[in-house]
Amino acid sequence: MYHNSFKRGGRRSSRTSSHSSHSSHGSHGSPHGGKSSSRQDSHFHGKPQSSSHGHGGHGRYAPRPHRGGAHFGRPQSRGKYIHPDTFINKTPVHVAMGEYKPKHLFADFGLNKTLEGNLTRIGFTTPTRIQDEAIHYILKQKDVIGLANTGSGKTAAFALPIIQKLHARKSGETALIMAPTRELAGQINDELTKFAHGLHVYSALCVGGMPIGKQMRELTRHPHVIIGTPGRLKDLVNRKALSLDSVSILVLDEFDRMLDMGFIKDIEFLIGKIPKNRQSLCFSATITPDIKKILEKILNEPVTVSVTSNVRSEHIAQDVIRAHSKEEKFAKLKEMLAHSAFEKVLIFGEMKRSVQKLADTLSKEGFKAEAIHGNKSQPQRDRALRAFRDGKVNILVATDVAARGLDIPNVSHVINFDQPNTREDYIHRIGRTGRAGKGGQAYTFIS
């Protein structure tokens, strides 16, 4: 166990008391702005508890117990049972990244010279594999299924052809890009803006958590590219602030994640408003039989480009932390975080309120921590992410909103304070560490 191998005396070793003396109150709601969930920190308690759903704990950190008392070893309230061995890998395999040798250079794609210059200026020298294999198909107006993990460079794979097509727009065509989270949509918008510098290709970002009036005003300027989350896009269509009649390119990014988050009805509604004579691109980390059936209705004779690696977690050291009470669980977490090896830590929790409470309690204990979850406004989420990226805080406590799509470099440790609901969720969570050929460590608390 970690507490046998780690000695006290790290950077914050004086802050390892068994209990927190503070608690805070979060607000109700569901992750990502969806419907409220009844899941309540399934694995915080060592045993089922029948107490009322208060905050409890006499000021100690004590999230509401799970209804029905689900804990490790029983089926969770949502998702599949995950065996404890899933969370253990004490002999990580080093994965030699090896430099990918592309078949094409960016110059081979026939891109606008200004666009090529922008790529050089921001440090894009040679295409990544997904860019190398997908861009020429997209430029040929083919529908494409791109199977690629986060961090593979897939944004440029669809953004560059979109800019190439729309920079000399004469017919009023537009592109619609859907993403599962505000953060991913924002990152896509930022990258597209950098690529399109000087080309007069403009975008509008339409996500929840931001003033809808401002977004409605931006849409009156008829942007070339509309980037957003399904819920906010549907809202704008219903308000008649957004028309999709001119969409000629549809991009579904992190499609499997959007389905996991329950966006299928919103996506179907939006696609129903788009002309059938369009180019459709779908990027996803996985493709299940169910996803394949849905894509058959959306795409027309698509080309599949797969660059996902079979080795998705074997290079990350993984272990479990056993805790038999909420007090022991929090004490062990503090002991871990006090060790100097925990340089940049991403902690995953299940519920928004408990995530905020944990971050607040850690801060009161003297740790530098921020929280990100669906109850926070977009500016608040942006500030928290920026502080974590820039090193102003070294601990980010998050719901699964941070498991995919976010560019968070150099995460030394991932801690699953609450267990994930599925094996796929687990893989995406721990995939925030051990990136770009670097080593990483993941821990999961169990009862």
Name every residue whose Cβ is closer than 8 Å to that of residue 222 and which is 6 or more positions away in sequence: 172, 174
The pLDDT value given to residue 142: 97
The pLDDT value given to residue 38: 34
CATH of domain 106-306: 3.40.50.300
CATH topology agreement for domains 2-94+312-446 and 106-306? yes
The pLDDT value given to residue 238: 97
Angle (CA) 175 179 181, round 5°: 145
Whole-angstrom distance, CA of residue 399 vs CA of residue 191: 24
Whole-angstrom distance, CA of residue 322 vs CA of residue 2: 10
The pLDDT value given to residue 405: 61
Kindly give the parts of the chain with pLDDT less than 70. Answer: 1-87, 90-99, 150, 170, 309-314, 402-407, 435-438
The pLDDT value given to residue 86: 66
Residue whose C-alpha is closest to residue 35's, from 208, 255, 261: 261
What is the SS3 assignment for 177-219?
EECCCHHHHHHHHHHHHHHCCCCCCCEEEECCCCCHHHHHHHH
Residue whose C-alpha is closest to residue 370's, from 294, 124, 362: 362
- The reported pTM is 0.67
Return the sign of the alpha-carbon dihedral for residues 123, 126, 127, 128.
Answer: negative
> Which residue(s) pair with 316 in the sheet?
440
Three-state SS for 277?
Answer: coil
Each domain of the chain, given as residue ranges in start order, spans: 2-94+312-446, 106-306
**Structure confidence by residue, pLDDT tens digits, 54-71:** 333 333 343 333 333 333
User: Is 379 in contact with 186 (CB distance < 8 Å)?
Assistant: no
Q: Which fold has domain 2-94+312-446?
A: Rossmann fold (3.40.50)
The pLDDT value given to residue 27: 36
**Structure confidence by residue, pLDDT tens digits, 155-214:** 999 999 999 999 877 678 999 999 998 889 999 999 999 999 999 999 999 999 889 999
Residue whose C-alpha is closest to residue 32's, from 283, 258, 227, 271: 258
Residue 382 sits at φ, ψ, to 5 deg, of: -60, -45
